[in-house]
Structure 1
Amino acid sequence: MNILTISTIDTRGGGSKIPYNIMDGIRKKGHTVSMFVGYKYSNDPDVHKIPLNRLYYRLSKIFANDLRFAKSGMIFKTKEYQDADIINCHNIHSGFFNWADFKRMTREKKVIWTIHDLWPITSGCTNIYGCRQDKPRRVLGFLWDNRNHLLNEKKKVYETSTFDIVVQSEWIMNQLKKSIINNQKMHLINCSIDTNKFRDFEMNQSREELGLPKDKKIILFIAGHGLSHQLKGSDYVKKMILDYSENKDILFVAIGGKKDEEKIKSNPNVHETGYIEDENLLAKYYSASNFLLYPSLGDNLALAVLEAMSCGLPIVSFNTCGIPEAIKDLGYVAEYENIVDLRKGVDYMLSLSTDQKKILGQRCRDNIVKHHSLQKMVDEHEILYSKVINDENST
């Protein structure tokens, strides 16, 4: 098979790495692959950069339209596109892809769209937290609100096109089934990680290597922007840090972003690492901790949750989108935005003995290996690619 993948980024970010991981796994199985991205960070010769329109963001703001002005049309002239048996689109927003090009692809090729967020069924917001705060998008900044037009443009394509959809959680599948895209065929393939890389290292040894204390219970938080990442629940984490500031037996470790305000930085119960890209190092931090505090306000299914559980780390989170599907009964799922219930979850995890944490951690690991391994995700994509390519009823 010859598979062409389209996404925003190749090898950086959390969920942004999933398309590349799938492509690389398919390549290792002997298939021909190529990838087009808006932002390329790897040296992979099979990954090609779509040239960006430097005026894109200015034009999209002036005309209140994020569906136009990109230069993705160049893909149609490439040998990779012309030879492809199937196109696997992932995130096709963020300023590098024209909506009209997706429509054309569905007419010329077999297309699978792996949907990671809510953008395909909204006027532009990508998650429930952002959609709650969505504001009018006015043409020229003061004329009509263009959001209905943007949504109708997407709806027109869905009504006149045929393609397959892959979703990575039951939650997002349910959202799509209630939306303007519900006429397309959908497949559930769980979001997955490399369980060989993210594994359970011995806790005290990991702490020694990382320079972390062995005599404290460590609460881990991870987000791209660290303790200033509101979507990931940083405000709730900072509240917990202050609530436990007098408890010298607890250390909060925050991964990501830059250092936060003085009130947090000066707290001896907080250790901020900054952003960590090295996955092997991340696995050591997961293994060194007692649990992951991840009060996300809008993740479909956060990769950090899967990585942590694969390293034997239980989770405390809000009842948010697809996250409870991964946690199941292997952590604490608090009522959404309920700080009191979240505190109960933190207290519960802190009360676990070393043996209880080890048993729970092993169950977390077993769950991820069984349902969310990278190899399982790659195998299921290979089967789906073959099925769609050989389906005479798809375009």
Structure 2
Amino acid sequence: MKVVHLNTYEGNGGAGRACLRLSDALNSSGAESKVMVYFQFKPSSKTGSFSNGPFQKAKAVFNILSERYLSKALTKAELKTPFSLQWFGRSVIDHPDVKNADIIHLHWINHGFLSPKFLAEIDELEKPVVWTFHDSNAFTGGCHVRYSCENYFKECGFCPLLKLSGKNDISHQTWLRKKKAYSELNCHIVAPSRWMANSVKLSSLMGFREVTVIPNTIETNVFKPYVKSEAKKILKINPHKFVLMSGFMPSKNDKHKGTSYLVDALNDLASRPGILKENIELIIFGNKDNVDMPEFPFKTTFLGTIANDEHLAKCYSAADVFITPSLEDNLPNTVMESLACATPVVAFQTGGIPDMVRHLENGYLAEYKSSEDLATGIEWLYHEDNGPDIQKEARRTILTQFSEAVIAEKHLLLYQSLIDLQPK
């Protein structure tokens, strides 16, 4: 079975990583899987690119930058919520890898890649199309993160993100373009989480489509537990310290990452009786620099961006708890990576996180937007005597429900069922 995956970038962001991981899992299970991306930041042996020559690369850069900067110009800067216009795009149907595939699997296709017009065009190939929704954009008039907005239940319009909002605003016009394209495109939706599947069913654009819930996968031979005391020594941390970890990013672009809640929770934790501040250390990865960093109440080590997954796994293993304050997330890779390394997770009960974190079993699900409850989850693990069993349960969750073989098999069964439905 030949499968081609289409994604805007290689390995950039959660969708890019999830796409590559799935392709590797499918290849290991006997399929012939390939990832094709719109733009590569550097040459890669792991993916093919639709933008190889100088002219194609220049056009891709123009599309990407135009999409991003025009979106910023038309949306309210203070809201910091990702929004896509999808005015720019390119055709993919004449590429040999697309034409020769048995299954075309779409992933994150924004930033000037597949606009509604070029999505609809894929139906001309008369092949089964699968589309994994890594965020909400496919069924909204432009936003990638919805929060409490319910405009996508109808036809969008009156968008709270736009500077010029009204009945026939850009979100409504985009909704209409998507509606026309989707009426021409036969595709099967994969939702990585139950939350995403429920959101799709509520949408006016995609509510009538079939949806299958299949989680993302992870490299369980890479993201695996290391002895905590040894992992702490690698990071030059006292092995007797209780280590907090977070994938913190200064919230300049995406307010849904919940940075302020993390800061408030740690300040709350530090003030509680029985919490010895000198016994706790915070490690942070993922930040590009230390500019505009808030002050944390505990000794803090900034690891920066970690490109090596094996080293990242050791960082997860060094932590006694991984904290993610995300306010809306589909199936965040960091949560899955942490659990795979046997590190319990404390997070808000939101999005697809409850599909991975089992409350008081492999982590703690805090009340939504409650910094106090987030702190209570950390405190629970700080005082918990049953830590080793919680860590084992974290790893077991990944092996039984999210491992490569499990997720590849679910996709292959779906692919085959769609192929069987094709006219003979």
Report the CA distance between 1:53 and its aligned residue. 4.8
Whether the 8 Å CA contact 1:293–1:317 is kept in 2: the answer is yes
**Do structure 1's residue 242 and structure 2's residue 250 form an aligned pair?**
no
Change (3 A) 1:130 1:94: farther
Change (3 A) 1:371 1:55: closer
- Of the candidates 316, 329, 335, which is equivalent to residue 367 of structure 2? 335
Whether the 8 Å CA contact 2:67–2:86 is kept in 1: the answer is no
User: In 2, distance between residues paired with 1:252 and 1:45?
Assistant: 34
Question: What is aligned with 2:153?
Answer: none
- Of the candidates 173, 188, 202, which is equivalent to residue 197 of structure 2? 173
Whether the 8 Å CA contact 1:292–1:308 is kept in 2: the answer is yes
Change (3 A) 1:360 1:259: same
- Give 3-state SS (helix, strand or coil) of 2:278's partner: coil
Question: What is aligned with 1:67?
Answer: 86
User: More displaced, 39-48 or 373-382?
Assistant: 39-48
1:245-300 per-residue CA deviation (whole Å, 9 max, x = no partner) reads 571111111111121436527x6611111111211111111111111111111111
User: Partner letter of residue 90 of structure 1?
Assistant: H
1:298-324 per-residue CA deviation (whole Å, 9 max, x = no partner) reads 111111111111111111111111101
User: More displaced, 305-314 or 235-244?
Assistant: 235-244
Question: What is aligned with 1:383?
Answer: 413
Across the two proteins, how many residue pairs are aligned to each other? 386
Change (3 A) 1:226 1:39: farther
- Give 3-state SS (helix, strand or coil) of 1:280's partner: helix
**Do structure 1's residue 92 and structure 2's residue 124 form an aligned pair?**
no
User: In 2, distance between residues paired with 1:147 and 1:263?
Assistant: 35
5+ unaligned residues in a row in structure 2: which ranges? 75-83, 151-158, 272-276
Change (3 A) 1:30 1:348: closer
Question: What is aligned with 1:47?
Answer: 48
User: In 2, distance between residues paired with 1:143 and 1:121?
Assistant: 18
Change (3 A) 1:107 1:183: farther
5+ unaligned residues in a row in structure 1: which ranges? none
User: In 2, distance between residues paired with 1:348 and 1:59?
Assistant: 45
RMSD: 2.8
Report the CA distance between 1:134 and its aligned residue. 4.4
User: In 1, distance between residues paired with 2:258 and 2:294?
Assistant: 18
User: More displaced, 50-59 or 95-104?
Assistant: 50-59
Report the CA distance between 1:48 and its aligned residue. 1.6
Question: What is aligned with 1:8?
Answer: 8
User: Partner letter of residue 87 of structure 2?
Assistant: R
Change (3 A) 1:213 1:114: same
1:312-339 per-residue CA deviation (whole Å, 9 max, x = no partner) reads 1111111111101210222211111112
Question: What is aligned with 2:340?
Answer: 310
Report the CA distance between 1:243 and its aligned residue. 3.9
Whether the 8 Å CA contact 1:292–1:316 is kept in 2: the answer is yes
**Do structure 1's residue 114 and structure 2's residue 132 form an aligned pair?**
yes
- Give 3-state SS (helix, strand or coil) of 1:14's partner: helix
**Do structure 1's residue 215 and structure 2's residue 267 form an aligned pair?**
no
TM-score normalised per structure 1: 0.89
- Of the candidates 157, 182, 189, which is equivalent to residue 158 of structure 1? 182
Question: What is aligned with 1:19?
Answer: 19
- Give 3-state SS (helix, strand or coil) of 2:301's partner: strand
Question: What is aligned with 2:170?
Answer: 146
**Do structure 1's residue 320 and structure 2's residue 350 form an aligned pair?**
yes
Report the CA distance between 1:98 and its aligned residue. 2.1
User: Partner letter of residue 195 of structure 1?
Assistant: T
User: In 1, distance between residues paired with 2:421 and 2:167?
Assistant: 46
- Of the candidates 271, 276, 282, which is equivalent to residue 306 of structure 2? 276
Report the CA distance between 1:241 and its aligned residue. 3.6
Change (3 A) 1:9 1:34: same
Report the CA distance between 1:230 and its aligned residue. 4.0
Question: What is aligned with 2:156?
Answer: none
User: In 1, distance between residues paired with 2:307 and 2:413?
Assistant: 31
